Amino acid sequence: MRKAIFLAFLAAFSSLLTSCGTTTTATTGCGNGCLVSGVPVSLTMTDDPPAGVSVLFFQVSLTAASLQPAVGTGPSISLLNGNTPIQIDVTQLQALSAFLGTADVPAGTYNSLSLTFANPQLVIINHSDSALSSSCAVGSICTLTPALDNSATVDFGSAPFPVTVSANSPLGFLVDFHLNTVIQSDLSVNLGVANGITLAQLPAAVSPVAPPFGFLTGAVGTVSISQNQFTLVAPWGKTFTVDVNSSTVFADWPPCASPGTLSCLSSGAIVQVQVASVESNGDLLAAKIVFLKLQSQSPQVVEGTVIGFGPMQIKLILHNQFPNSTAVPLGGVATVTIDSGATFSVDSGGFAIPSGAVFSGFSNLTFGQELQLAVDPGSMSCVTNWVLTGSWQAPPSCTFSTNNVQLEPSQLSGIVSSIDSSASSFALGNFPSITFGPGAPVALSIPVDTASQTIYQGFATDSFSGLADGDFVSVNGWVFEDDNGILDPAMTQPFVLAQTVTQHSAGIF
């Protein structure tokens, strides 16, 4: 008899990834094609880059994930559906998780896991005191396809292995991707270096407040109101079946006769699903569904981190897009013109934003903010003849205009330097080189406000009282400009409203 095993990528700089299918019918969606008594397996990734540069973007493709059975018991099992590579932006996984995929494997004992990576892309700002290879000047933003030293495959054969896959026994792995170790002093990438990528088994217990299965963004396929489910097509082409129940939360939903129900969901809509669990038939149960855009709206929506300003213009490092398009280079720099009368809003996702946190116009922009922008039809223009070479060069560029600017949660990591219990706030400093905005002023610390809705993960006590000076944490939250536009953004120290606060074990990523 065969059981289902669930592949997932979580990151503490984190991404939890999972999908469903079988080794014999990998081209179909999960739905009822998955076997009963699935066994969830999750992987968690983190990063911590070298001194002297700030990593703005680090993307790598997972091209193979192979589970090795005990000697003599059968062939290795691929955990990638259809062996389709999955691109992972590690720098966007500091405090979130991203659900990826599942595979169907025989029950039994397994001795190791092998992960193969390819096509790393690195975008940095050079904070050092000299040019890199004479082509990346001090203070400039540069991109590179780093060389992969040694092998592109990482084998995990020691603890927690061997592991046993059996019915009704969830199984999860935590994969830590340490960029400060993996990226070498010459900025090549060595995946096999000691403590570069590490593996641990996740506990079987599932948090009802912050389910560990992570987030999945995609386009809605079909909607079945009678069965309380819909299908979701991920950017890499995998189709998932997503179930809802009375506990599912609907956030940022468009005007509808029955807001907060599947009747408001239509084919082609782009949504983000927080996965509560993988059910026995392989369906995903949604804890939360956040509406992103309708297919009939702006033909393109992009997300990026603010890295620069100009008169009614902003510069972004591009991290995401809806729908997916090869014409828009992720990791590229976009110069965006803001239309007169453009709408500014906060993507609260159901979180209560306090009145003092304002994002209503150009004056409320600051470095390090994550923005979602609706591209004005016909305005997108990207360099088409740009080719990533083996040497440093300027990132690919795009220009477009927008009439809709939405503030999304950003991710920031550092050491807790002080705590103000009376105000339910703390200060974060000693940042690793995952940048909080390359043009931002050098600050010893950045204030972080919390609220009753803030979720704490990984602490001995998962509440504000669990925080302690010296904790190494990642914060997922909204970055607000702190002077309401009085000062130039380059002179402003922002503050963060924390949606989640995640502690990293042993004080490292």
Residue 314 and residue 270 share a domain: no
pLDDT > 80? residue 479: yes
Q: How many domains does the chain have?
A: 3
pLDDT > 70? residue 222: yes
Q: Is residue 488 part of a domain?
A: yes
Q: Where a domain ends, among 133, 167, 202?
A: 202
Give the least confident one: 127-131, 185-189, 416-420: 127-131
Those residues with Cβ within 8 angstroms of residue 68's Cβ, 6 or more apart along the chain or in another chain: 76, 110, 111, 112, 113, 114, 157
The pTM for the full model equals 0.80
Task: Output the pLDDT for position 24.
Answer: 27
Residue 179 and residue 284 share a domain: no
Residue 219 and residue 188 share a domain: no
Place 486 in a pLDDT band, splitting at 50, 70 and 90.
Answer: low
Residue 223 and residue 104 share a domain: no
Q: What percent of the chain has pLDDT over 90?
A: 26
List the domain range (segments joined by +) for residue 286: 215-293
Q: Is residue 207 part of a domain?
A: no
Task: Output the pLDDT for position 340.
Answer: 93
Task: Give the residue, 277 or 82, on which the prediction is more confident.
Answer: 277
pLDDT > 70? residue 43: no
Query: What distance lies between CA 225 and its chain's CA centroid?
Result: 30
Residue 304 and residue 278 share a domain: no
Give the least confident one: 114-123, 169-178, 211-220: 169-178
Those residues with Cβ within 8 angstroms of residue 141's Cβ, 6 or more apart along the chain or in another chain: 56, 123, 124, 125, 307, 317, 333, 394, 395, 438
H helices of 191-246, in order, are none
Q: Is residue 276 part of a domain?
A: yes
For residues 92 and 9, the answer to whether their CB atoms sit within 8 Å is: no
pLDDT > 90? residue 53: no
Token pair for 111:
């001795």
Residue 497: CATH number of its domain: 2.40.50.140
For residues 402 and 336, the answer to whether their CB atoms sit within 8 Å is: yes
Q: CA separation (Å) from 5 to 23, 29, 67, 337, 350?
A: 11, 15, 10, 47, 32
Residue 377 and residue 322 share a domain: yes
Q: Which among 353, 457, 466 is positioned nearest to 419, based on CA atoms? A: 466
Give the least confident one: 64-73, 199-208, 324-333, 449-458: 199-208
For residues 495 and 446, the answer to whether their CB atoms sit within 8 Å is: yes
Cα 503 from Cα 401, distance rounded (Å)? 38
Class of residue 311 by CB neighbours under 10 A (exposed 0-12, middle 13-18, buried 19+): exposed
pLDDT > 90? residue 304: yes
Q: Which among 389, 412, 433, 427 is positioned nearest to 504, based on CA atoms? A: 412
Q: Where a domain ends, among 260, 277, 293?
A: 293
Task: Output the pLDDT for position 155.
Answer: 92
Place 77 in a pLDDT band, splitting at 50, 70 and 90.
Answer: confident
Q: Is residue 12 part of a domain?
A: yes
Strand partners, 372: 303, 406
Residue 326 and residue 282 share a domain: no
For residues 77 and 45, the answer to whether their CB atoms sit within 8 Å is: no
pLDDT tens sequence across 191-203: 888 877 877 776 6
Mean pLDDT of 101-119: 84
